[in-house]
């Protein structure tokens, strides 16, 4: 039996296991899936040779020097810039909303300052402090762009009206008054040459780490270890005894074709009448590769059932109340820390996941050396 264990061989579990192994400890890593890398798992499609992102498109982006250099120790990153298009009302536009989007949508040739003035004239300035997603959109882009690009998409993605969602979801997207169509504004962005699973396998490749795939960890096993880092679902650890935290899940409908299907990696669909939110064409995530065939996935979002894979935590008022109750339970549990996107019930990008995992392992090693209590959460889930 090892000293410690991590539940989950995604970035959270793998990074923590490696840090502990490097510090001289033995670590067991469990994952109930047949592969490593969790939701970031990539695999080469046998028929086309295309690198597939099995659980949806993943583009790495970060401002963190530490995370960027950590990952570059484990893989080669290729230059990649995420440029998203959207189809709305039978026309194609550039996202995030930028000067090209505004000029095309309104049939204008605005300069940056003219566009800014125009959008301000469209905006609902009476909304001083936007609380809901819809308020945020009406305040910053106005009704026309909101209805074309955000209203239908968001309804499909979250299964509820944008009036019920927090403004914070839309704040993730910029509005630009220039022609910059880079979806992200981070300093580093790229795609691992051999995919994400190869990175995680490299991270886990250490003589002190024992990996058990297809192996479900249950609460009763906690006492087998001095300490457990659990990156599975928080409610699942407690066998859902207080109910289920709400998630959205995704269904992927595969499309196979010859050549180039849609000419870009990600095409969003703003109209509510189109049932999927977007189509991802995976060979465009590896633009340095050439493949005659192509594989795409239409993405359908729906409420997560008991046997579905949880993707996006919903975190509305009901879930927040249940979350607090689960936190209270977790804080009474000995020998376990809850980490990662499922363990802390938060949407986390990969870079944040890795930064938090590095920090958790570091804090753990220090606290243990000082004989101090190890917290249930290194980062508060609320
Ligand atoms: P996970 O990857 O979910 O790993 C947890 C693992 O634990 C899973 O394999 C699970 O099966 C296993 N497990 C759970 N319970 C148990 C148990 N009891 N016993 C054994 N194993 C268990 N981030 C970006 O930075 N860029 C992107 O472009 C991006 N795109 C995304 C697109 C989608 C559709 C989604 C949903 C997320 C995206 N993300 C993206 C976020 C990214 O997926 C997460 O940051 C990352 O997966 C978090 O890693 P994790 O290890 O915490 O969790
Ligand atoms: N969104 C939208 N239309 C789009 C893209 C995004 O309405 O074409 C909304 C949607 O509600 C989404 C949010 O903006 O959840 C944040 O966008 P992001 O691209 O960060 O979505 P995610 O990565 O969470 O899928």
Q: Which of 157, 183, 274, 314 to mutate to test the pocket of ligand 2 (most atoms within 8 A of CB)?
A: 157
Ligand 1 atom at shortest distance from the alpha carbon of 14: 51
Instruction: Give the pLDDT confidence score for residue 317 in this predicted structure.
Output: 84
Instruction: Give the pLDDT confidence score for residue 318 in this predicted structure.
Output: 85
Tokens 């299907």, residue? Answer: 261
Ligand 1 pocket member 10 (CB < 6 A)? yes
Enzyme catalytic residues: 172, 176, 248, 278, 299, 347, 349
Residue 172 burial by Cβ neighbours in a 10 Å radius (0-12, 13-18, 19+) = exposed
Nearest residue (CA) to ligand 1, atom 47: 39
Q: pLDDT category, 44, cuts 50, 70, 90? A: very high
Q: Which ligand is nearest to the CA of 160?
A: 2
Average pLDDT, the chain: 97
pLDDT for residue 172 is more than 90: no
pLDDT tens per residue across span 84-97: 999 999 999 999 99
Name the residue among 43, 47, 48, 41 with its Cα closest to residue 260. 48
pLDDT tens per residue across span 246-293: 999 999 999 999 999 999 999 999 999 999 999 999 999 999 999 999
* CATH superfamily, with its number, for domain 4-41+64-80+193-241+315-369: NAD(P)-binding Rossmann-like Domain (3.40.50.720)
Question: Contact at 8 Å (CB) between 338 and 331?
Answer: no
Question: What pTM was computed for the model?
Answer: 0.97
Distance separating alpha carbons of residues 19 and 364, to the nearest angstrom:
10
Nearest residue (CA) to ligand 1, atom 24: 349
**Beta-strand runs (E) in 56-133:** 60-62, 77-79, 84-88, 91-95
Mean pLDDT across 37-47: 98
Ligand 2 pocket member 173 (CB < 6 A)? yes
CA–CA distances in Å: residue 183 to residues 68, 172, 237, 316, 325: 19, 10, 36, 26, 36
Q: How far is the CA of 125 from the centre of ligand 1 (A)?
A: 39
pLDDT for residue 57 is more than 90: yes
Of how many residues is the chain composed?
382
For the chain, domain boundaries: 4-41+64-80+193-241+315-369, 101-169
10: left (phi over 0), alpha (psi -120 to 50) or beta: beta
């Amino acid at each position: 039996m090892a000293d410690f264990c991590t539940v989950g061989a995604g970035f959270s579990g793998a990074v923590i296991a490696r840090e502990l192994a490097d510090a001289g400890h033995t670590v067991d890593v469990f994952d109930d899936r047949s592969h490593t890398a969790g939701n970031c798992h990539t695999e080469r499609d046998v028929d086309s040779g295309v690198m597939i992102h099995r659980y949806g498109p993943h583009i790495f982006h970060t401002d963190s020097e530490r995370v960027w250099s950590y990952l570059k120790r484990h893989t080669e990153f290729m230059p990649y810039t995420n440029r998203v298009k959207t189809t709305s009302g039978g026309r194609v536009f550039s996202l995030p909303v930028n000067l090209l989007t505004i000029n095309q949508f309104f049939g204008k040739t605005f300069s940056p300052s003219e566009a800014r003035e125009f959008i301000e004239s469209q905006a609902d300035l009476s909304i001083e402090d936007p609380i809901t997603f819809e308020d945020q959109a009406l305040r910053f882009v106005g009704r026309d762009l909101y209805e074309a690009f955000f209203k239908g998409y968001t309804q499909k993605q979250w299964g509820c009206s944008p009036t019920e969602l927090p403004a914070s979801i839309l704040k993730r997207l910029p509005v630009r008054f220039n022609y910059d169509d880079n979806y992200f504004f981070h300093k580093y962005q790229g795609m691992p040459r051999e995919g994400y699973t190869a990175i995680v396998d490299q991270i886990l490749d250490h003589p002190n780490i024992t990996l058990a795939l297809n192996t479900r960890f249950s609460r009763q096993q906690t006492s087998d270890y001095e300490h457990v880092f659990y990156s599975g679902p928080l409610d699942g650890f407690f066998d859902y005894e207080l109910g289920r935290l709400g998630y959205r899940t995704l269904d992927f409908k595969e499309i196979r074709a010859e050549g180039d299907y849609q000419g870009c990696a990600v095409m969003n669909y703003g109209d509510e009448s189109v049932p999927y939110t977007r189509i991802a064409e995976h060979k465009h995530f590896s633009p340095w590769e050439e493949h005659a065939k192509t594989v795409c996935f239409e993405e359908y979002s729906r409420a997560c059932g008991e046997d579905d894979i949880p993707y996006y935590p919903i975190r509305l008022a009901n879930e927040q109340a249940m979350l607090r109750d689960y936190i209270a339970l977790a804080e009474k549990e000995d020998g376990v820390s809850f980490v990662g996107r499922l363990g802390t019930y938060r949407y986390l990008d990969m870079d944040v996941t890795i930064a938090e995992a590095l920090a958790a392992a570091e804090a753990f090693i220090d606290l243990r050396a000082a004989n101090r209590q190890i917290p249930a959460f290194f980062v508060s889930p609320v």
